[in-house]
Amino acid sequence: MPARIDLGDPGFEQEFERFLGAKRETAGDVAGAVAAIIDQVRERGDDALIELTRRFDGFELDAENLRLGEGEIKKARHDCSNDEIQALELAAERISAFHARQSPEDLEYRDEAGLRLGHRWRAIKSVGMYVPGGTAAYPSSVLMNALPAKVAGVSRLVMTAPAPGGAFNPLVLTAAEIAGVDEIYRVGGAQAIAAMAMGTESIQPVDKIVGPGNAYVAEAKRQLFGIVGIDMIAGPSEILVVADGDNDPGWIAADLLSQAEHDSSAQAILITDDAGFADQVLERIQAMLESLPRKAIASESWDRFGAVILVGALSDAAPIIDAIAPEHLELAMDGADELFAEIEHAGSVFLGRYAPEALGDYLAGPNHVLPTGRSARFSSGLGVLDFMKRTSFIGAGKAPVEKIGAAAVTLARAEGLHAHALSVSLRLGQTDPD
């Protein structure tokens, strides 16, 4: 059964700390297995991809069918309905428009000493995008990962995904086409991450890898970071809904289950100031579970990791929210903006009764790739800046160096770096930095 915690109880702090510290990810230690896969790809390239695909995905891969051709991608579009294609195109338009507003500006100025200072932004040249699940994958995730990269100006965007039996979900391929993905490969798992990071005979290496995956994919990203950039190590999904008793309990129940159905390790939390309303939501959840196709997954998530937290007033919720630092936060209440102003840590916030998290999953505009596992305390959701890098620059003539150079020499001497001191002092006309 989901936890029920009351802020007014004397033991709240201890119970809340236990709840907060509970481990949700159940995957065992896969570091050794992943390291072995990486070594195989490093040493044997395409041959390793072929062997590992045969073992894990059950079909015969070769150099000819590793990369998808234009014919397969066009056929996938024909296999989608017009309504599905129009929905993907609307989502792509809205996601692109939102992310275009994130594009940064270059900076250049001359300071009081006369130095020319600034920075410039440039897109990362090549990015790899991992799409989990093969035939069970989500086209919305393709759009959310690919479109910010294209808005940023990434010139080569590579997609890999497992394809059990060699087949892809047509909507996934159509989303990739709409988003402008340049290369698509039918390879998944840790071996796909290794191939994109280090390259093989058929797959050229990329500069950064984005996209979620299972424990093996996450561990491969962790081990290969440094050889290649990564976005984040994603964990199970989360939602926290703050709701008053004026809500329809069925709406809130559906919002909570919208994350519970993702994964048996996902987490859904309700904070409310109305115990009777909480009971109604719990009843509606049990009724809705009976009709959900993913009932087993959602039930396990809700029973093991779900929670109802009762507070005296919703204005008391801000410290609890910040401690949880949820991936998704719904404020389904009067005065949502006032509570939002007090919150420091959340991946994405949904304001008002008519802003369910599911709207953000598909086409509101902001990215649905968000920090999980309390990492919203120090990180943000995926955006245009994740696909760009900033280079600073310094331009100096003789006069500016004469104004500030002596201080640089002093600091270099203090650090015992005499070549540093000499480098500046020579420009000041001094031959001996001491």
In 3-state terms, what secondary structure has residue 109? strand
Helices (H) and strands (E) in the chain, counts: 17, 14
Q: Report the C-alpha gap between 150 and 14 in whole angstroms.
A: 47
Structure tokens at 114: 């006369």
- Note the residue count of the chain: 434
Whether 126 and 99 have beta carbons less than 8 Å apart is answered as no
Q: Which of 173, 211, 153 is nearest to 88 (CA)?
A: 173
Torsion angle in degrees (nearest 10) through CA of 21, 141, 354, 269: -10
Which one-letter amino acid corresponds to residue 428? L
Count of CB atoms situated within 10 Å of the CB of 352: 13
Q: Which of 261, 327, 330, 357 is catalytic?
A: 327
Q: Does residue 119 carry a catalytic annotation?
A: no
Q: Which of 99, 262, 328, 368 is catalytic?
A: 328
Structure tokens at 58: 């059950």
Which stretches of 207-335 are DSSP H helices? 215-224, 249-260, 275-289, 295-305, 318-324
Q: Facing residues of 3 across strands?
A: 307
158 contact partners, CB below 8 Å, separation of at least 6: 126, 127, 128, 129, 181, 182, 183, 184, 185, 196, 203, 206
Which residue in the block uniquely carries the two structure tokens 């970071």?
A: 225
Which one-letter amino acid corresponds to residue 81? S
Q: Does residue 345 carry a catalytic annotation?
A: no
Residues designated as active site: 327-328
